[in-house]
Amino acid sequence: MNIIEISNDQGSQARIAVDQGFNCFCFKAVTDSGTIVDVLSAADGFEAGGHPASRSGIPLLFPYPNRIADGRYSWAGRDYQLKLDQVPSDKAGNAIHGFCIDRTWRITAQSRSSVTGVFRISVDAPERCPFWPADAEIRVTYELQDACLRSVIRIHNPSDQPLPWGFGTHAYFRLPLSPTSSADQCTVYAPASRTWELNASLPSGKIQSLSAVDLASSPKFGGLKLDDVYTDVAADKGVVVCRIADPAAKLRVEQRFSSDFREIVAFTPPWTTAVCLEPYTCVTNAINLQQRGIDAGLQILPPGESWTGWIDIGVLDD
């Protein structure tokens, strides 16, 4: 498997599995005090292959994050049925997490501290082209800046048709932040005030007052069971900040992103001690909800146009 390693003068390091969806599965940050923090959770031997692409590191979800119900939708008067034996799917028969999470990306630029990968459906997964209304390209650059991993994401429509799309990441944040502290005593924070009503992981279309754990109150990780889609996300000067804090270790991880990411999926995986705080540009099953007149956040790029966003994951001393 093609693994790319990047590093910087502060000592921070990251490893990216090019053949597993350009997944950054390892990020070790060195704080200003010299503390080394292993930020991400990944399966042992993930880089060797044979592990689910969606369960380690930072899976990249495009052209839709999370699920499309039954793999079915309609667009511009045409019905689409995603073949669930040819695209990622869940046990309930829904298409899940897009077309690039399990494919090899192409490297277009690399330096000691950064790397850029690109995935285009027609080039890198041409058999999936018939399942989407337009060709689509995603370009991601990972760059280490001190104790921060910055991701810059560019979505481009190379086709002559409007491109419906959504994007999200699915980072698995390892807990605790120090080998001498306790995961149960760590706290999890996201600035969201409402949730989408879910039926079997699919939004009904209703947004409700908070029906899940109030992450804005920074609850302790111990006992948390999360698999929820949060919305009404608060931003300060256009920037959203999520946080995982380890008071005993006097460390915190902050995930910062622009308010273009309007939903946050929070998930506690049962197979490892970690929490996922997933910024999405749209809600689950957006391509179907939007056509019911529900503002689900589905984006549409005209031919030849692009969108750019960013996500920072940084470690700080408290």
Torsional class of 101: left (φ above 0), alpha (ψ -120 to 50), beta (otherwise) = alpha
Confidence of residue 212 (pLDDT cuts 50, 70, 90): confident
Please name which of 166, 182, 267 lies closest in space to residue 224, comparing C-alpha atoms.
267
Residue 49 has pLDDT above 90, yes or no: no
Q: Which domains does the chain have, with CATH numbers?
A: 3-317 (2.70.98.10)
pTM for this entry: 0.97
Residue 211 has pLDDT above 80, yes or no: no
| Percentage, residues of the chain above pLDDT 90 | 95
Which tokens in the block code for residue 93?
């028969």
Ordered DSSP codes for 213-269: --GGG--BSTT---EEEEEEE--BTTEEEEEEEETTTTEEEEEEEETT--EEEEE--
Distance of CA 199 to the CA centre of its chain: 22
CA distances from 225 to 170, 199, 274 (A): 16, 17, 11
Report pLDDT for 184: 97
Report pLDDT for 1: 78
Confidence of residue 207 (pLDDT cuts 50, 70, 90): very high
Residue 47 has pLDDT above 90, yes or no: no
Which whole number is the average pLDDT over 213-224?
Answer: 95
Helix (H, G, I), strand (E, B) or coil at 161: coil
Burial of 310 from C-beta contacts in 10 A (0-12 / 13-18 / 19+): middle
Which whole number is the average pLDDT over 25-49?
Answer: 95
Residue 210 has pLDDT above 90, yes or no: no
Which whole number is the average pLDDT over 73-99?
Answer: 95
pLDDT tens column, 116-147: 999 999 999 999 999 999 999 999 999 999 99
Residue 308 has pLDDT above 90, yes or no: yes
Residue 173 has pLDDT above 90, yes or no: yes
Which tokens in the block code for residue 155?
């979505």
CA distances from 199 to 70, 206, 277 (A): 13, 11, 20
CA distances from 274 to 101, 176, 233 (A): 20, 8, 22
Report pLDDT for 286: 98
pLDDT tens column, 249-272: 999 999 999 999 999 999 999 999
Question: In whole angstroms, what is the distance from residue 318 CA to residue 316 CA?
Answer: 6
For the four alpha carbons of 12, 146, 152 and 277, in that order, the dihedral sign comes to: positive
Question: In whole angstroms, what is the distance from residue 179 CA to residue 38 CA?
Answer: 10
Which whole number is the average pLDDT over 153-168?
Answer: 98
